[in-house]
Chain A
Amino acid sequence: MNFAALWIPRFALLALQRQESGLAGQPVAVVAGEGRKAVIVESSIEAEGTLGLAVPLATARCPGLQLREPNPAAEQEAQRLLVAAAFALSPRVESTARGCCTVDLQGADPAQTLAAMHRQVAELSDAGLPVRIGAGETPLLARFAAQRADPILIVEDRAAFLRELPLSLALPTPGQTEVLHGWGIKTLGGLTALAKGEIGRRLGPEGALLWDRAHGESPRVLRLMEPSRTFAADWAYDPPVEFIEPILFKLRRFAERVALELRSAGMVAATLALTLLLEDETEHYREFRLPEPGANVDSWLRVLQTHLDTLRLAERVAGVRLLALPARPVQRQDGLFETGLTDPHAFWENLARLSAVVGPHRVGTPVNLDTHAPDACVLERPFVTVSAPEPLPIHPEHGGLLRRFRPPWPIRVLCVEALPMALDGGVRGEIRARRGPFLLSGEWWKPGAWAVETWQVELAEGGLYQLSRDRAGWWLDGTLD
């Protein structure tokens, strides 16, 4: 038992199900590929028989099938949970692939390791990720074992184990699959029963490598990873949510992973920090000093739920973040190339202060949107670099510069034969001259279709203004210099 592999079947699907509460017990399938080439790559038990089918055929065979594309954020979250579980078995962990970790068990006590494996199977299962663990003399053999485990399998006799395994486990290319299918080779044993040299003569060096994989390969050095040093998780809701249930659902998932990471690192949480990102881009932040530092998911959730039950927010929640502050600080030596500076960009600090004064949605670099809509721009986070100035336009803007009122002023306009004649409101007076109308419209395919009629007017008593009219009525956009 030199190596163990932790493998989660239907990983993309389970990762999604962990993040979407409504998917449990439903026929769900994960789709990969574009357009007509899209096929079902993973499916829930309720959608049995759809694997490998094109989307239309799958929906024909399984009415009510819910289709999802892989969600990288959900998979990253699930992968971190899997990694945390792997660290509970050994400090030498490799994140081998999506849904698969390999650990180096050389020198470990077999009995203790087996007990730890059972604990991790139970823990991950509770967290919605039923893991399978295999162990063998090479990393690949361990992985094959995991793929056949229920839930734990330790390979003692390599040859006997490999003989009946399906060929697909060795990941042949489509071209190799076609040839081997023609030869009637369906198992790893079937392939290794043929002489490696003969395979090489026919399928080349790639074929020889496939033969090696079918034979379980030789031991290799794992690409070891560091355990997590931050114990946090976050999620963005699209669309934002109004009720507490989806937030608690997500917090449970976070807590499961963060707690496992803490435990694997031999730590506990002393304080929890909860941040709710609201739809209006403000935040609700609250720290909870735990009565007793620990890594128990249920007790964390009790604290969080008590708070959320009493919380009343004016805006919907667009995101959630949970941070666990460990009970003992991380003791580590700075790396050779790490900077000693905490933050070299004082600019950002100033910006943050500014945001605190005027509100974060009112700070940034204005960028025009690609639309005919007037005054359509967004504030983007300032660029780090300043781009070169654009060449001067062939026909520079001229005429009156518009100083916009933000927001524009509602105004009453007296019209005669569709021509504005006088204003009444924040600005009053008879109109002496006018230019217009200028008509702009767009986004007709959306509920937010807009159409605006614009006039530039001069009042008899002086003053140049821009007026506009939309569905809501007349507006005074601003003054013209």
Chain B
Amino acid sequence: MSYVELHARSAFSFLRGGSSPEDLVKVAARLAMPALALCDRNGVYGVVRQHTSAKGLGLRALVGCELTMVDDTVVPVLVATQAGYRQLCALLTTANLRAPKGEGRITWEELAAGNQGLLALTGDEEGPLRRAWRERGAAEAALAGAKLQEIFGPDRLFAELQRHLLPNEDDENNFIIDWARSAGVPLLATNGVRYALPAAGAVLDVFTCLRHHATLDQAGRLLSANRQAHLKSHAQMKALFADLPEAIENTARVAARLEFTLANLGYRFPDYPVPAGQDQDEFLRKVTYFGAHQRYGTTGGAVRRQLDRELDLIGTLRFAGYFLMIWDLCAYSRGRGILVQGRGSAANSAVCYSLGITAVDPIASKLLFERFLSEGRSDWPDIDLDFPSGDRREDVIQEVYRKYGRTGAAMTANVITYQGRITMREVGKVFGFPEDVLDRFSALYHHGDLPETLELKDQLKAAGVTGDDPRYGKLLETCRLMHGLPRHLGQHSGGMVLSHGNLADFVPIENAQMPNRSVIQWDKTDCEEMGIVKVDLLGLGMMAVLQDTLEICADRGQPVDLGALPKDDPETFRLIQEADTIGVFQIESRAQMATLPRMKPANFYDLAIEVAIIRPGPIQGEATNPYLDRRQGKAPVLYSDERLRPILERTLGIVLFQEQILRIAMELGGFSASEADELRRAIGFTRSPERLNRMEEKLGAGLLRNGVSEEASASIRKSLASFALYGFPESHAISFALLAYASAWLRTHRATAFYVGLINNQPMGFYSVATLVQDARRRGLKVLPVCIQQSEAGSQVIDDHSFRLGFRSVKGLRAPSIARLLAARGQSPFTSVQDFMRRTELGAPERRMLALAGALNSLAEHRRSALWQVEESGSSDPLFRITPAADEPTLSPLERMTHLERLQSDYAALGLTTGRHPMALMRPHLPDTVLAGELKNFRHGTRVKVAGSAITRQRPGTAKGFCFITLEDESGHTNVIVRPQMFEDYRLIINLETALVITGRLQNEDGVIHVMAEEIEAMPALGLPEQESHNYH
């Protein structure tokens, strides 16, 4: 009988295992092991990955877990039956939900009450038996063993033996053998696997150091004594246990008893409660047609045909309950006045449109329903809902918890893995590199910055770690081994899962860091693999802006109906074409703004293309520039195969959308609906490229079979590969274009309300409030400063041309203080600084910040005078302390602030100024520089010098190492392009200096203006306030 490893930990034991489940499976299969049990600490975090990767390798993925008990001993259990799996999930859920994250412990009583269908091992050095033997001697150990025996009975407990070739381990094993024989407990050999291959032992040592907050040099005997805890073959294990053959044979016997695998999870989506006498299909049909009448007016002809087709398919696939649940959630939101809109491929469905889940009419937009749902589909359709971010979305999430119960719904997990900078920082620390080197590395390589232009060794060299350092080679190797391993588990931004009955029967639930949230142990891909339905309830900042803007407009007697906005408003499109789009959803980024003057969107569908075209998919598929050239008439519209014309006509012969790929696959590649669905899933599955490669080959063969030329086939396959890198479905682009257009229209026609909505929902979007305020000023709006007598908590509209900043703009002013302040003012206006201090009792830092912001100017002569007065009760010494009793204005001996000082105070207190841009003050000191607004007057190729606050820095993965910097000055923005080598040479200056002076050649083509950098320097320190920037996102 072949040896089966029944006690293996993966990196999902978080700092207690050095390999991924996939690597463990791969190596176990290579060793011809028939099965492998994954026993991660306190969870089943890695079992889906184990299950999925084992499927194609002929290996049985057995489920186990190491349970941490209240006395901190660790009991490994193996799942024998489905009931056992449910017991395990229940044990973990109970323990985790009553404790803060990561601190759940199981009581012995709970284990005694709920262990049916589970087998147990006596464990390794952390197990109750060995731990008692080590700490308290043989007699106590025998008692610990007896307790386990009592819980698991005579046939479900196994005495675990491990031989790692360590001196003195025989004593411990001899005790276990003696005890097992006397107690009648069968022996079981395991290798206590903590990594797949010996090399990954280094990772485990690094993890051990991280767990103990020690460096490798400090860790001493906490580190592994050797590298023997790897997967071993039958022959190796047989040789190790040559004297105890039954311990090896028992592994196969136990494995045979473990009937359960994730293939029989038994998950079911919850039924939707329908009125008596109807089933879910009938009820869905009823509500769909009710909605369709409202949407379409009439439901004859094409609408009825499409709805019937969709409803029949939904019925066949038994998805009616799911649609009803989403419909119900949307209805709940609307009932609470919360904006909601479906995104993604759901917009391809007329049923979703009729149910009010999506806002796009797929029939009018000729969208491909098969992108959303097809006959061959085995997994659940993907409906993502966008809500206003913040409290309104949380309201909807809590409604799901209320409706389905705390153990019936939970958020999906998000596995945060060791990647680039964080790996280097943590490993570097463990290797004992000094903090300043690690800081320098972090400063060089910002989060989100593209690392691929430099090898890690070159990145290290730039940070001051060279090959001369004796630890250098091992550092590189360890970082490579750790790359992609799980670091910790977060929660997905909005993914929720539901189940019929108890969700905790299928996957353990634990508390999230956020209050009132719980999270399962699997991420969204795991859920998809297991057929567990996920609903994405996403928070979108722009939805919150739209909702706030609409409310402001309604309050001011200028109501706006989003559904009735004119779709061809010339003024809105004029601003879009001029790239005057700061604050507009999706088309405000530097890259979008650089495309708008070339694209010149003239209608709604153009906007959808604009949204989709600046994406990694089309850019890497080299679709962006050919499309723009064709649109501008610089290149002819060609079709590599005439049969592509009807599919690609709307996008000028270029593949831009996923739907087009699917239609090509079906119409030219001979794919069936289910094959097309498989293709769709392969595009979305980012964890493994192999699946996509297989589909790409299949598509290529189908295209050739149907007479598509080699050249055309290659081009289509290239598009397919690029869509795996975040290409958009057309329906999704249209959904987003709706929001883009709505925000652009509001910015054009309800500017003050829109800017107030934007400012009140920060942080969001691409730009800081300072930039938004300057943008509003350039558009002729008046931005009024914070005022103690006038401001509200948030910013507020004054009239069509002005708005006032709210108290929330003041740094450090806490929400309770704002509430106290408003309540006091509500009783009567403040009459003096003393009156304000007496009635609000704000702390000194808050009073100081208000004075610094100029908010007290209406009560004092000037800011300095206010600053002098607010300190009056500042002393904590009773000898000096005074209580402002009366409105006795104290005369300030201080001088008024200069203009520069006021500017600096504005930035110190608010991070912005409502006055002129700070660069206007710097301009006299920068005599050779050109204003951003004047660049358009210079010819292409002119050498220019520009200066400004660096408000964004970007180095997208598609830009091959080029860096894009946006400089802001008093006249607008300058986009600067930095070549890869220059970026490497000036990396620190670019990343760390807040204001830059850049000299370079002007590129002025098709109204798109850039400066190609040739010289970069920090702006001289002349007191320019530091402006917030938005980098590498």
The residues of A with any CB-CB pair to B shorter than 8 Å are 31, 34-36, 38, 54-57, 59-61, 67, 178-179, 182-184, 193-194, 198, 200-205, 207-208, 369-372, 394-395, 437-442, 444-447, 451, 454
* Chain B residues, CB < 8 A from A207: 875
Name the residue in A31, A67, A184, A454 with the highest tally of chain B Cβ atoms < 10 Å from its Cβ. A184
A38–B1018 alpha-carbon span in the complex (Å): 21
Nearest CB in chain A: distance from B99 CB, A: 31
Nearest CB in chain B: distance from A66 CB, A: 11
Q: Are B988 and A454 interface neighbours, CB within 8 A?
A: no
Q: Are B474 and A202 interface neighbours, CB within 8 A?
A: no
A/B interface sample: 26 pairs, CB < 8 A: A31-B436, A36-B439, A38-B435, A38-B436, A54-B439, A55-B439, A57-B443, A60-B443, A182-B848, A183-B894, A184-B864, A184-B895, A198-B893, A200-B880, A201-B875, A202-B874, A204-B874, A204-B880, A205-B880, A372-B226, A395-B137, A440-B225, A441-B226, A445-B474, A451-B226, A454-B167
Which candidate, B146-154, B215-223, B449-457, B481-489, is the interface stretch facing chain A? B215-223
Which candidate, B103-111, B371-379, B865-873, is the interface stretch facing chain A? B865-873
Q: Are A202 and B877 interface neighbours, CB within 8 A?
A: no
* Chain A residues, CB < 8 A from B690: none
A55–B438 alpha-carbon span in the complex (Å): 11
Name the residue in B867, B875, B993 with the highest tally of chain A Cβ atoms < 10 Å from its Cβ. B875
7 smallest beta-carbon distances between A and B, as pairs = A370-B220, A60-B988, A56-B443, A204-B875, A202-B871, A372-B225, A438-B167
* Chain A residues, CB < 8 A from B439: 35-36, 38, 54-56
Mostly helix, strand, loop or mixed at chain B's interface? helix
* Chain B residues, CB < 8 A from A36: 435, 439
A198–B475 alpha-carbon span in the complex (Å): 60
Nearest CB in chain B: distance from A289 CB, A: 46
* Chain B residues, CB < 8 A from A38: 435-436, 439
Q: Are B135 and A394 interface neighbours, CB within 8 A?
A: yes
Nearest CB in chain B: distance from A396 CB, A: 11
The one of A56, A61, A194, A394 that contacts B134, using a Cβ cutoff of 8 Å: A394
Nearest CB in chain A: distance from B195 CB, A: 13
A208–B875 alpha-carbon span in the complex (Å): 11
* Chain A residues, CB < 8 A from B221: 370-372
* Chain B residues, CB < 8 A from A446: 470-471
| Seed contacts A440-B225, A442-B223; 7 additional CB < 8 Å A-B pairs | A36-B439, A38-B436, A60-B993, A179-B848, A179-B871, A201-B880, A371-B220
Nearest CB in chain A: distance from B644 CB, A: 51
Nearest CB in chain A: distance from B466 CB, A: 15
The one of B223, B226, B871, B894 that contacts A439, using a Cβ cutoff of 8 Å: B226
The one of A34, A56, A372 that contacts B992, using a Cβ cutoff of 8 Å: A56
Nearest CB in chain B: distance from A419 CB, A: 12
The one of B136, B440, B470, B872 that contacts A447, using a Cβ cutoff of 8 Å: B470
* Chain A residues, CB < 8 A from B475: 445
A31–B228 alpha-carbon span in the complex (Å): 44
Q: A56-B443, A204-B874, A394-B136 are in contact. Are A184 and B165 (CB under 8 A)?
A: no
Q: A56-B443, A204-B877 are in contact. Are A445 and B435 (CB under 8 A)?
A: no
* Chain A residues, CB < 8 A from B867: 179, 182-183
Q: Does B564 contact A (CB under 8 A)?
A: no
* Chain B residues, CB < 8 A from A178: 848
* Chain B residues, CB < 8 A from A442: 223, 225
* Chain A residues, CB < 8 A from B435: 34-36, 38
Q: Are B136 and A202 interface neighbours, CB within 8 A?
A: no
Q: Are B226 and A203 interface neighbours, CB within 8 A?
A: no
A30–B880 alpha-carbon span in the complex (Å): 40
Q: Are A395 and B171 interface neighbours, CB within 8 A?
A: yes
Q: Does B652 contact A (CB under 8 A)?
A: no
Contact with A along B127-143 (1 / 0, CB 8 A): 00000001111000000
Q: Does B995 contact A (CB under 8 A)?
A: no
Q: Are A56 and B875 interface neighbours, CB within 8 A?
A: no
The residues of B with any CB-CB pair to A shorter than 8 Å are 134-137, 165-167, 171, 202, 205, 216, 220-221, 223, 225-228, 431, 435-436, 439-440, 442-444, 470-471, 474-475, 478, 848, 851-852, 864, 867-868, 871-872, 874-877, 879-880, 882, 893-895, 897, 901, 905, 988-989, 991-993, 1018
Nearest CB in chain B: distance from A77 CB, A: 24
* Chain B residues, CB < 8 A from A441: 225-227
Name the residue in B134, B225, B436, B444 with the highest tally of chain A Cβ atoms < 10 Å from its Cβ. B436
Q: Are A445 and B897 interface neighbours, CB within 8 A?
A: no
Mostly helix, strand, loop or mixed at chain A's interface? mixed
Q: Are A67 and B882 interface neighbours, CB within 8 A?
A: no
* Chain B residues, CB < 8 A from A34: 435
* Chain B residues, CB < 8 A from A202: 868, 871-872, 874-875
Nearest CB in chain B: distance from A239 CB, A: 13
Nearest CB in chain A: distance from B619 CB, A: 30
A446–B864 alpha-carbon span in the complex (Å): 60
The one of B166, B216, B848, B993 that contacts A438, using a Cβ cutoff of 8 Å: B166
Nearest CB in chain B: distance from A282 CB, A: 27
A454, closest chain B residue (CB): B167
B140, closest chain A residue (CB): A394
Q: Are B474 and A444 interface neighbours, CB within 8 A?
A: yes
* Chain A residues, CB < 8 A from B895: 184
A15–B497 alpha-carbon span in the complex (Å): 64
* Chain B residues, CB < 8 A from A372: 221, 223, 225-226
* Chain A residues, CB < 8 A from B220: 369-371
Q: Are A445 and B431 interface neighbours, CB within 8 A?
A: yes
Nearest CB in chain A: distance from B583 CB, A: 31
Q: A438-B165, A446-B471 are in contact. Are A204 and B876 (CB under 8 A)?
A: yes
Q: Are A200 and B137 interface neighbours, CB within 8 A?
A: no
The one of A67, A200, A203, A445 that contacts B216, using a Cβ cutoff of 8 Å: A445
A36–B438 alpha-carbon span in the complex (Å): 9
* Chain A residues, CB < 8 A from B893: 193-194, 198
Q: Are B226 and A440 interface neighbours, CB within 8 A?
A: yes
The one of A59, A179, A205 that contacts B879, using a Cβ cutoff of 8 Å: A205
Q: Are B852 and A59 interface neighbours, CB within 8 A?
A: no
Nearest CB in chain B: distance from A33 CB, A: 10
* Chain B residues, CB < 8 A from A445: 202, 216, 431, 471, 474-475, 478
* Chain B residues, CB < 8 A from A447: 470
Q: Are B871 and A394 interface neighbours, CB within 8 A?
A: no
B175, closest chain A residue (CB): A395
B848, closest chain A residue (CB): A182
* Chain B residues, CB < 8 A from A208: 880
* Chain B residues, CB < 8 A from A56: 439-440, 442-444, 988, 992
A214–B1013 alpha-carbon span in the complex (Å): 49
Q: Are B992 and A57 interface neighbours, CB within 8 A?
A: yes
A55–B436 alpha-carbon span in the complex (Å): 7
A202–B872 alpha-carbon span in the complex (Å): 5
Nearest CB in chain A: distance from B207 CB, A: 14
A58–B880 alpha-carbon span in the complex (Å): 43
A242–B166 alpha-carbon span in the complex (Å): 43
B852, closest chain A residue (CB): A182
Nearest CB in chain A: distance from B173 CB, A: 13
A52–B1018 alpha-carbon span in the complex (Å): 16
Nearest CB in chain B: distance from A251 CB, A: 30
* Chain A residues, CB < 8 A from B905: 182
A251–B223 alpha-carbon span in the complex (Å): 44
A369–B221 alpha-carbon span in the complex (Å): 9
A207, closest chain B residue (CB): B875
Nearest CB in chain B: distance from A41 CB, A: 13
Q: Are B901 and A184 interface neighbours, CB within 8 A?
A: yes
A445, closest chain B residue (CB): B474
A182–B853 alpha-carbon span in the complex (Å): 11
* Chain B residues, CB < 8 A from A198: 893
* Chain B residues, CB < 8 A from A437: 165
A437–B202 alpha-carbon span in the complex (Å): 22
* Chain A residues, CB < 8 A from B848: 178-179, 182
A202, closest chain B residue (CB): B871
* Chain B residues, CB < 8 A from A200: 875, 879-880
* Chain A residues, CB < 8 A from B225: 372, 440-442
